[in-house]
Amino acid sequence: KWGYTRYWLAEHHSSGTLADASPEILLAAMSSRTKNIRIGSGGVMLSHYSPLKVAEVFRMLEALAPGRVDMGLGRAPGSDQMASYALQAGPNTYPIEKYPQQVYDLMRYLSETFPDDHPFSRLRAMPASPNWAVPWLLSSSMGSVGIAAKLGLPLSFAHFIAQDGGPECVKWYRDNFEPSEWFDKPRVNICISAMTADTAERAHDLATCRHVMRLMRNKGQEMKGVPSVDEIKAMNFSGADKEFIEQQRAKSVEGDPEMVKAKIESLAEQYETDDVIVLTITHDYAERQRSYELLADTFELKGEGRVEFAETKIDLE
């Protein structure tokens, strides 16, 4: 209702603060409660799954929400080593070096373009559909940037994770993009951590909830849920703790609506994109919604959800 173009869900495992272990299930629920906005994963941690299974899941989602599904793919585990081991229990696992091949196979399943002599050519990702989810390769380093450029796929860069050298990574992607049978030209969006409120001071307090959450996780003391503003005010922090919190603050965009708008526009200019995803984590859900509402009002969003990518070879309408 606020004019945003898309809403993505992340995948995390065995976390006390990040609860979405199955974005595809929530996306199915969202498909029945939305009409125009694009919905997608940000992303599916492909190393845990077979490409065929992921193709089947997103074929089903596309059937539920035709022309509205984005398929963000990540190679990070979204968990620690033990959770990754448990998720991949069995003789056949997908080590991280297999990620490019997984992406390639997934695209072949979706587009039904395995060569005739390929052993997978007779397999079909069902349900059958003339359309399929739009792929985005998630990246915070040159590794995945290089894969996206080599395979000719859209890139979603995690600025909230990797600020230093981010614009240079994206420029390299554009300069080295190899047109594929799926996409003619490079396509980029960036994801930033942002929090706004009616006052800069309130935004600062709300954003600190996420920074402290990350601090405690880094110290091996992960909390149950995101700490509240009042809980944080009652906590004692060492000098090193305070330094870590301020380092996290430097990686986020926070302030009153006009301040945040100016910072987002500056980042969009640096990355040469008008496609920005906002990650907002705080203790109070109503405050999170209020942040999204204030941003929509400040940017005067009027989107209707669907996006036409004229430069792609896929019909996304």
Share of the chain above pLDDT 90, in %: 72
Average pLDDT of the residues in 165-192: 96
Classified as helix, coil or strand, 2 is coil
Q: Is the pLDDT of residue 83 over 80?
A: no
What is the distance between the alpha carbons of residues 123 and 112, in angstroms, rounded to a whole number? 9
Task: Identify the pLDDT of residue 64.
Answer: 96
pLDDT single digits (tens) 13-29: 877 677 778 999 999 99
As a whole number of angstroms, the distance between CA 282 and CA 259 comes to: 19
Q: Is 135 left (phi over 0), alpha (psi -120 to 50) or beta?
A: beta
Q: CA–CA separation, 246 vs 211, rounded Å?
A: 8
- What is the pLDDT, as a whole number, of residue 312? 40
Whether residue 176 has pLDDT greater than 90:
yes
pLDDT, position 19: 76
Can you state the percent helix, strand and coil of the chain, rounding each to 5?
45, 15, 45
Q: Residue 313's pLDDT is what? A: 43
The yes-or-no verdict on residue 309 having pLDDT over 50 is: no
The tokens describing 33, both together, are 């409660």
Checking if the pLDDT of 77 tops 70, the result is no
Residue 276 parent element (H or E)? strand 276-279
Question: Other CB atoms closer than 10 Å to residue 152's CB: what's the count?
Answer: 18
In this prediction, residue 217 has a pLDDT band, given cuts at 50, 70 and 90, of confident
Identity at 159, one-letter amino acid code: H
Q: Is 188 exposed, middle or buried (0-12, 13-18, 19+ CB in 10 A)?
A: buried
Q: How far is CA 239 from the centre of its chain?
A: 32
Average pLDDT, rounded, for the chain: 88
Percent of the chain with pLDDT over 70: 89
Band of pLDDT at residue 134, cut at 50, 70 and 90:
very high
Lowest mean pLDDT among 148-157, 207-216, 265-274, 303-312: 303-312
Strand-pairing partners, residue 276, are 190
- Across 288-307, average pLDDT: 84
Q: How far apart are the first and last CA of the chain?
A: 20
Cβ proximity of 233 and 213 under 8 Å:
no
CATH of span 6-194+254-299: 3.20.20.30
* CA distance linking residue 98 with residue 106, whole number of Å: 12
Domain boundaries, the chain: 6-194+254-299
Instruction: Say yes or no to pLDDT of 220 above 50.
Output: yes
